[in-house]
Amino acid sequence: MAEANRQIVLDRLPAGDKLAREHFKLIETPAPSPGEGEVLLRTRYISLDAANRAWMQGATYRSALEGGQVMAGGALAEVVESNVGHLAPGDMIFADTGWQDYAVLPGQRLAKLPAARLAEGEPVTHLMSVYGIAGLTAYFGLLECGQPKAGETVVVSAAAGSVGSIVGQIARIKGCRVVGIAGGAEKGRWLVDELGFDAAVDYKSPEFKRLLRAEVPDGVDVYFDNTGGAVFEAVLFAMKNFGRIACCGALSQYDGAPPPHGPRGIPGLIVTKRLTLRGFVVMDFDDQREKALADLQGWVASGQLKVQEDIVEGLENTPAALIGLLAGDNRGKRMVKVR
């Protein structure tokens, strides 16, 4: 394999700063060759996730990133050479390839993505958005942790993002009234007009708390929290007695200096309102994946669930695409088409 391997290295950790282009550098190395039991992969679409930034802050459900390593991240990748029996050139997989053209990984834990999951004409990228981590996180977080019932009010933050846009639509499918929280009036209009949310509230407005209360006059039954921080606090005060909060992520705290204090109302409101807060990681529900994927496929096929993808071109643009995601540039699932 004579071709060069472009790699984006996390040159140094941002520490308490906002993530910037200078934290990354692009280098070229010779493309690697697979050894015994290994597979050579060519990355096609790199997944951009808010979690990429969280991994720079310390250990989470995976070990912390360090300066000098190829930036970690998942990707839809194609098998180029295989030294394992269950994978062959041309197979598509999802793997932690990092931000680079080629990766060599042990083949043992890699599984071919089932093309049969895609309906006629459905793009392969759906395997990474609606049938990937974003779709499954939305599905399990809402239905298992939130336990919504028809007629209830569901609120979701980062509602125009990859997880949030699916959460709101599933809640509508389940017969709930859905209020999305997102930055700016334009995103709010898109949530209501295109995705069928009942209402949207701009958390960047100085009137945010009042606007939120106006949209949930009887209170909130289920809150799907992607952000933590001030948005979490505002919804906490609007929760109904016996409400459920699915704690999915803490976007407000990934990029930049840590907040000066935590949300008010903890634990007092959790006690007096008898709330249930449940944190989860999507992998907790691996044993229910097939049922979830069948439901998601059915909703996409029937047109009840719209898949919004935000595709940036070019490996070299991956750092800017992540910085932009953290600043709210994306609608739906952001990814980078490598070439």
Ligand X SMILES: NC(=O)c1ccc[n+]([C@@H]2O[C@H](COP(=O)([O-])OP(=O)(O)OC[C@H]3O[C@@H](n4cnc5c(N)ncnc54)[C@H](OP(=O)(O)O)[C@@H]3O)[C@@H](O)[C@H]2O)c1
Between 67 and 279, CB nearer to ligand X: 279
Shortest distance in whole angstroms from residue 11 CB to ligand X: 23
Taking CB under 6 A as the criterion, which residues in 318-337 touch ligand X? 325-326, 328, 330, 334
Give the residue carrying structure tokens 């071709």.
Answer: 3
Q: Which stretch binds ligand X (CB under 6 A): 73-81, 157-165, 286-294, 314-322?
A: 157-165
Given 160, 167, 179, 222, the residue binding ligand X (CB under 6 A): 160
| Pair 103, 32: CB distance under 8 Å | yes
Phi, psi of 92 (to 5 degrees): -100, 140
Shortest distance in whole angstroms from residue 223 CB to ligand X: 13
Q: Give how many residues touch ligand X by CB under 6 A.
A: 34
Q: Which stretch binds ligand X (CB under 6 A): 32-40, 70-78, 114-122, 181-189?
A: 181-189
Shortest distance in whole angstroms from residue 139 CB to ligand X: 11
**Interaction of residue 249 with ligand X, rule CB under 6 A:** yes
Alpha-helical regions (H) of 42-118? 50-54
Looking at residue 299, the DSSP 8-state letter turns out to be H
Measured N-to-C along each axis, helices 133-140 and 289-302 cross at an angle, to the nearest 10 degrees, of 100
The pair of three-digit structure tokens given for residue 27, joined into one six-digit string: 């280098």
**Interaction of residue 110 with ligand X, rule CB under 6 A:** no
CA atoms within 13 A on the CB side of 210: 3
Closest CA to 73 of 92, 93, 94, 91: 94
**Interaction of residue 232 with ligand X, rule CB under 6 A:** no
The CA distance from 93 to 91, in Å, is 7
Q: Which stretch binds ligand X (CB under 6 A): 19-27, 143-151, 156-164, 259-267?
A: 156-164
CB within 8 Å of 254: residues ≥ 6 apart: 50, 53, 54, 57, 326
CB within 8 Å of 216: residues ≥ 6 apart: 153, 155, 179, 238
Q: SS3 breakdown of the chain: % helix, strand, coil, rounded to 5?
A: 30, 25, 40
Q: Which stretch binds ligand X (CB under 6 A): 82-90, 232-240, 249-257, 312-320?
A: 249-257
Shortest distance in whole angstroms from residue 273 CB to ligand X: 23
Cα end-to-end span (Å), the chain: 18
**Interaction of residue 132 with ligand X, rule CB under 6 A:** no
What track of x and - describes contact with ligand X for positions 38 through 67 (by CB under 6 A)?
-----------xxx--x-------------
Shortest distance in whole angstroms from residue 282 CB to ligand X: 4
Residues near ligand X, by CB under 6 A? 49-51, 54, 133-134, 137, 157-158, 160-164, 182-183, 187, 203, 226-227, 231, 248-252, 280-282, 325-326, 328, 330, 334
